Amino acid sequence: MLAILFFILRLPSLSEPYWYGDEGIYLAIGQALRHGLLLYQQIHDNKPPTLYLLAVLSQSVFAFRLLLSLWMIPTIYFFHRLTKKFLPSRLSYLSTLLFLILTSIPLLEGNIANAEVFMLLPTILAFLIFLNYKKSPFSLLLSGLLLGFAFTIKIPVAFEFGLLCLWILLFHKSKIKNLFLISVSFILPIFLYFIYFYFRGAALPFLYSSLLQNFGYLSSWATGSQQSSLGSGGLFGRAAITFISLGIFYFCYSKKYLSKDLLFLLSWFSLALFGVLLSGRPYPHYLIQILPSLCLLLFTFSQARLLTFISFSVLVFSLFHFKFYFYPVFRYYGNYYSYLFHQKSLADYRRFFAPDINDIYLIADKIKSLSSPSDYLYIWGDQAYLYPLSDRLPATKYIVAYHVLDFKGYDITIKELRAKTPKLIIYFPQVDRPFPDLDNFISEYYFLVDQIGQANIYQLRSQL
């Protein structure tokens, strides 16, 4: 039954058009890496490297979603194995069922190839190995290695690594030795990436973009900039509440009010929630990180009702406080099956995802007709999916407008445009994002060849 449900829930995701901004960035970077560009130095985003390598394997949104679906099969299997550690058979099945549904439907963007979904597999497997074989040095090494791999997908998993370190300090006899083993193995994957980029002459761009720049990212939602201000947005307050909660949980455990298993689950949930709220952003896919502990805690509710209720109350408060939004579920599946059974046209099906999506496909066709695969393209906007959709490489390091804005990349963008002279510039007017140097560059060297929807399509009229 679970396999059939998984197929039914995941199938529509394989037919979605190019519409989701982050996926467009991942695929555009994957395309650039396949053509030999160096990540962080020649093409930019501010996540660790592994997600982009997964995008290298996926040359289309279909392939990326298919890879995600295949990835989720062992994820759900190992989560089911993990539930058996905490729950009896029937509740274990129900917990797995809930986890499968929440990670598959669009409510939390579980159907989209985001880092949070990919990092579930190594995280769950690491916890399973750690809990089942916690006295084995090999299990510590493997658990740390898996969490280190998850860290190279998305940084907030570091808080779940912190939980295992805390567990070692509290319950292991050989504390220093075991902490050393799990810490070294955790650091190893990101260290190997550092060695690679060091020998490619890009160690500093790697460290800055994939790690250090994320400190500024923590506060950019609250401050509207990429300035590194960890104290902004209430981060220290949330950290204090998290550590106080951990102290209360351990006190209740020491007084026999709480079992060891529930101590672990409540601590996991609290640290994962802190990771979810790290930047204060309301993106639903961030909530994916708490799903394993949430789906386990829901079915152990009767064993520690007050503490579990308080933990869930903090979650609900956070959803409202940070104004998390969610995607429709029933309309999503209704849209797909209406199209599948020819009750909707392709254009109407695509329009469900974004009102201008059909214009995007027309623009991609126009790009193909006016340029060749060897020509560079530049898009002033956030529609990065136009690069993989039209099979054209970006002319600049920053492939979306908000990166130019956030990282003050105006000068480098103009410099790279002059160096590579893209055949076409797709310009989405943005009143709140003035770029006068780009406007002057276009006026000097390009002419308007077409206008589709909101996009002006400019073609190079002379060589620089």
pLDDT over 70, % of the chain: 95
- Indicate the pLDDT class of residue 213, thresholds 50, 70 and 90: confident
Q: CB–CB of 32/53 below 8 Å?
A: no
- Residue 92, number of CB atoms within 10 A of its CB: 20
Q: For residues 22 and 54, what is the distance between their CA atoms, to the nearest angstrom?
A: 14
Q: CB–CB of 381/359 below 8 Å?
A: no
Task: For 171-182, write each residue's pLDDT tens digit.
Answer: 988 889 999 999
Q: Is the pLDDT of residue 229 over 60?
A: no
pLDDT in the model for residue 217: 56
Lowest mean pLDDT among 19-33, 80-94, 163-177, 321-335: 163-177
Task: For 378-429, write each residue's pLDDT tens digit.
Answer: 999 999 999 999 999 999 999 999 999 988 999 999 999 999 999 999 999 9
Residue of higher predicted confidence among 301 and 272: 272
List C-alpha distances in Å: 440 to 380, 406, 445.
Answer: 14, 21, 9
- Alpha carbon 143 to chain centroid distance? 21
- Alpha carbon 329 to chain centroid distance? 20
- Nearest-CA neighbor of 249 among 367, 163, 177? 163
Q: Which two tokens stand for residue 153?
A: 């997908």
The Cα angle at residue 159 between residues 175 and 285, in degrees rounded to 5: 155
Question: For 322-332, what is the mean pLDDT?
Answer: 96
Q: For residues 278 and 322, what is the distance between their CA atoms, to the nearest angstrom?
A: 11
pLDDT in the model for residue 435: 96
Q: Is the pTM higher than 0.85?
A: yes
The DSSP-derived string for 85-143 is HHS-HHHHHHHHHHHHHHTTSGGGTTTS--HHHHTHHHHHHHHHHHHHSTT-HHHHHHH
Q: For residues 174 and 118, what is the distance between their CA atoms, to the nearest angstrom?
A: 32
Q: Is the pLDDT of residue 87 over 90?
A: yes
Q: For residues 386 and 365, what is the distance between their CA atoms, to the nearest angstrom?
A: 10
- Residue 150, number of CB atoms within 10 A of its CB: 29
pLDDT in the model for residue 223: 43
Q: For residues 163 and 82, what is the distance between their CA atoms, to the nearest angstrom?
A: 16
pLDDT in the model for residue 216: 56
Q: CB–CB of 283/112 below 8 Å?
A: no
Q: Is the pLDDT of residue 464 over 60?
A: no
pLDDT over 90, % of the chain: 84
- Nearest-CA neighbor of 381 among 366, 365, 402? 402
Residue of higher predicted confidence among 218 and 206: 206
Task: For 117-144, write each residue's pLDDT tens digit.
Answer: 999 999 999 999 999 876 688 899 999 9
Domains in the chain: boundaries = 2-232, 357-460
Q: For residues 366 and 392, what is the distance between their CA atoms, to the nearest angstrom?
A: 12
Question: For 300-317, what is the mean pLDDT?
Answer: 88
Task: For 351-379, write each residue's pLDDT tens digit.
Answer: 999 999 999 999 999 999 999 999 999 99
- 13 exposed, middle or buried (CB, 10 Å; 0-12, 13-18, 19+)? buried
pLDDT in the model for residue 18: 96
Task: For 45-62, write each residue's pLDDT tens digit.
Answer: 989 999 999 999 998 999
**Helical H runs in 200-234?**
203-207, 213-223
Q: What's the order of all strands across the beta sheet hosting 376-380?
A: 393-394, 376-380, 424-427, 455-460, 446-452
Q: For residues 285 and 156, what is the distance between their CA atoms, to the nearest angstrom?
A: 13
**SS3 of residue 455 by DSSP:** strand
- Alpha carbon 159 to chain centroid distance? 16
